[in-house]
Chain A
């Protein structure tokens, strides 16, 4: 069965510091991975997906198949990055995404 693990429920960093939100997955096939973000009292929205290889709002994430990880990184955190972040996995033939438990990121001024 597929599983997504986000080991940190809470993460707090200072403005301007680097931030890394961890995501590990278990899936024997070729996964497709996503990061979703939820700002305060807003709907969840797609932040980025690994196949796009793009940087959104300064965030990047690299799929590491050897370590089965898809960590989200940003070199210089901003206060507006404070939000709830979810990692999610899509497997071939599956009809739903599997989500991690989420990490609440707080950027301190």
Chain B
């Protein structure tokens, strides 16, 4: 049982390049999330998808787009990478039945934009 799988684990981009971070979960969870983790800033929500077919902005959505491809997959796209997007990105999923009962996190993607 893999849980939440993120790819790639590491990536270096040049300013202006684009890329997509992939996330898949095999727990039949309804909700999926993308966070970024920066020193001193904690976890900040970028986008989330409460259920298949819906997406909503979080705290720091600028410069990102998301796609809930199906119930299992939720991708995060950087259209034109900037150095400020250097961070560790975590995907998470949750059952979300009326109230969040906790997340299961992926292992993270360490992104460096030069």
Contacts and interface: CB of A to CB of B under 8 A. Distances in A.
Residue of B90, B99, B100 most packed against chain A (CB within 10 A): B100
Interface residues of B, number: 25
B74 interface: no
A40 interface: no
B50 A95 contact: yes
B62 to A, nearest CB: 18
Contact of A49 (B41, B56, B102): B102
Contacts of B92: 44
B99 A90 contact: yes
A45 B45 CA distance: 17
A34 B102 contact: yes
Interface of A: 9, 32, 34, 36, 42-46, 49, 86, 90-97, 99-102
Interface of B: 31, 33, 40-43, 45, 48, 50, 56, 58, 90, 92, 94, 96, 98-103, 105-108
